[in-house]
Amino acid sequence: MSRCGMLLTACMLVATLAACGKATERERVDFERMRIQQRADLYDASHVFASGGVMQAPPTGAVSRESAADTGVIASGMYGKALATTIPIAVTPALLDTGRRQFGIYCAVCHGPAAFGGSLVAANMGPPRPPSLRRAAMLTKPIGYIYYVATNGFGRMPPYNWQLTARERWAIAAYVQQLQRTAATDSMSIRDSLNALTYARWDSIAAARRQP
């Protein structure tokens, strides 16, 4: 090997060692110390707050940013005292997709995956069970009704205005309307509607037994 070649090899070796040194140094950063430190977790007790808990209720009258932005018919679902007969925001594929997802999370557990009322909760709840949102009586109601019930609750059903924004509730209404206009041919929808028929039968048998 020439002198120059040897020098070059030596240089490369030094460079390589230097690079290795850097890599191990990077690994040695003490992330563990950052991970294990004092912090407050959800539901923890707290000495700081008078309530004794970490989690604090928002001050009375606090309004979420999303809700504050929506007013009038978008927020209430009403024109004056009349329920809206049309959806007051643009019904886009994206809105319907939001509706499908949020319906699946918030409504399907009780009203069934295809809104026929054939859910497991309905099976165990006893009458009045979560009704079908596709039955004839529902089809003649203004669309604002679904929004209004999702917002304010109805009988045994709780309101969802604190968990869903106005736009999400309209998205659900739009999705339910789409379901109402579509024939149920897939197996999930058929099972949902058959389950609901079974529960209706249980209720009519129970009612007949109660007759003197």
Interface residues with ligand HEC (CB under 6 A) are 106-107, 109-111, 121, 128, 130-131, 133, 146, 149-150, 154-157, 160, 172
By beta-carbon proximity to ligand HEC, the closer residue of 73 and 170 is 170
Smallest separation, CB 39 to ligand HEC (Å): 34
Encoded tokens for 39: 């912090």
109: Cβ–Cβ under 8 A, 6 or more apart, which residues?
119, 120, 121
Closest separation in Å from C-beta 62 to ligand HEC = 22
Q: Are 190 and 113 in contact (CB under 8 A)?
A: no
Residue closer to ligand HEC by CB (options 49, 202) is 202
The residues, ordered by sequence, that sit 6+ positions from 25 with a Cβ below 8 Å of its Cβ are none
- Closest separation in Å from C-beta 112 to ligand HEC: 10
Q: Which residue's CB comes closest to ligand HEC?
A: 155
Q: Pick the closest to residue 160 from 106, 91, 101 (CA basis).
A: 106
State how far the Cα of 208 lies from the Cα of 212, in Å rounded to an integer: 9
Question: Measured between alpha carbons, how far is residue 105 from residues 112, 159, 164, 182 in Å?
Answer: 11, 14, 11, 21
Nearer to ligand HEC, 21 or 104 (CB): 104
Residue 197 CB, shortest distance to ligand HEC, in Å, is: 16
Shortest distance (Å) from residue 71 CB to ligand HEC: 21
Task: Using the minimum distance from each CB to ligand HEC, give the nearer residue, 6 or 105.
Answer: 105
**Nearest to ligand HEC of 79, 154 (CB atom):** 154
The CA distances from residue 97 to 26, 148, 180, in Å, are 44, 20, 16
Query: Which amino acid does the sequence have at 158?
Result: P
